[in-house]
Amino acid sequence: MGKGGAMIARQGQRGFGGRVIVPASGLLVGVWLALGIAVAAESAEGPKTAPTIEKGAQAPHRVTSPHFVTEFSVPPPVGRTYGVLCERAYANFRRMFNVEADEVVWEGKCQVYLFATRDEMVKFATTVTKSLAAAQSAGYTNITTEDPTIVLYLDKNDQGKLRRTLVHEMTHVFLQLFHGGGAKVPVWLHEGFAQYFEFDSDPEHSRRKDSKARIKRLVAHGQQAPLERFWTMDFPPTDMDSYAQAWSLVDFMVQRGSAKMTGQFILQIKEGVAQEEALRNTFRCSLPQFEAAWRRYAQQSY
């Protein structure tokens, strides 16, 4: 990006000399989310045009694939890698959630912005999306049924972080939008799945080990949140105990049940079935049985 910073213009327009052009509709209407809680947002009426990083002194690059448009100011070889990663992750989600190849998960393309520095992302967050909370985080997401958007930056000290965060954010987008949106997916499932795929994308991810140790310790002392409360509660990104519990529950469902059963469970939730009933329908157990089995799993497997 040039000295003007994160300059953007509507698609098809160019040369705005450093001014930030905010689209009149669409992209900014949804709820921008700082790494964490995902809420489905209605898309705006009228024509929608996603902004594009304006071509500046250090021209940003763009890769288009079937489901994504990836714009990046990171070095081209790096950016292209992420373009490929997006489609690969999409295919993983499809397998896990049993989504047919021809299903339209979102209209248009998911817009992925990869900034070379945190400063560029912060500028984009503060001037374009007006999200101060997002500016504080490693990335953020706008989940809209048309052109959902993910914004991230490359941490020079931790190159793997961009890949992990991208997978994490994409999980939120996919989870909420597949099969036509439906009921809001509870926070524990959102964060559980986002971390599940995030950890899966990096076998060396230290948080997987940390999460195992954390949840094992909590369960050993009976300090985990009771499921009946946990699966309706909200928690902030700083609540590491809840994040670990959310991941562990999804890990348990997939490892001790199956990816297919877990996918069916999510589908029922999206269709509006109560969680306890969805558990009975797919995992054939009651809430207390499920909770006891999960606690045993955490004690024995981590």
Q: How far is the CB of 5 from Zn ion (least distance, A)?
A: 26
Q: How far is the CB of 192 from Zn ion (least distance, A)?
A: 10
Separation of alpha carbons 28 and 140, rounded Å: 13
9 vs 194, which CB is nearer to Zn ion? 194
Which tokens in the block code for residue 106?
Answer: 């979102």
Place of tokens 């999980």: 171
Separation of alpha carbons 107 and 129, rounded Å: 21
How many residues touch Zn ion (CB under 5 A)?
A: 2
Applying CB under 5 A, which of residues 194, 250, 269, 279 lies at the interface with Zn ion? 194
93 vs 283, which CB is nearer to Zn ion? 93
Q: What are phi and psi of 115, to 5 degrees?
A: -90, 145
Nearest residue (beta carbon) to Zn ion: 194
Residue 192 sits in the site that holds Zn ion (CB under 5 A):
no
Which has the closest alpha carbon to 177: 31, 275, 42, 33? Answer: 42
194 vs 244, which CB is nearer to Zn ion? 194
Structure letter (DSSP) for residue 255: I
Q: How far is the CB of 227 from Zn ion (least distance, A)?
A: 20
Structure letter (DSSP) for residue 18: T
Q: How far is the CB of 270 from Zn ion (least distance, A)?
A: 18
Separation of alpha carbons 269 and 59, rounded Å: 44
Q: How far is the CB of 299 from Zn ion (least distance, A)?
A: 26
- What distances in angstroms separate CA 281 from CA 14, 254, 262, one per listed residue? 54, 16, 11
61 vs 172, which CB is nearer to Zn ion? 172
Beta carbons within 10 angstroms of residue 184's beta carbon: 14
Binding mask 17-46 for Zn ion (x = CB under 5 A): -------------------x----------
69 vs 194, which CB is nearer to Zn ion? 194
Which has the closest alpha carbon to 84: 98, 64, 54, 60? Answer: 64
72 vs 247, which CB is nearer to Zn ion? 247
Q: List the interface residues with Zn ion, window 103-142 (CB under 5 A).
A: none
97 vs 283, which CB is nearer to Zn ion? 97
Separation of alpha carbons 106 and 67, rounded Å: 8
Query: Which chain residues interact with Zn ion by CB under 5 A?
Result: 36, 194
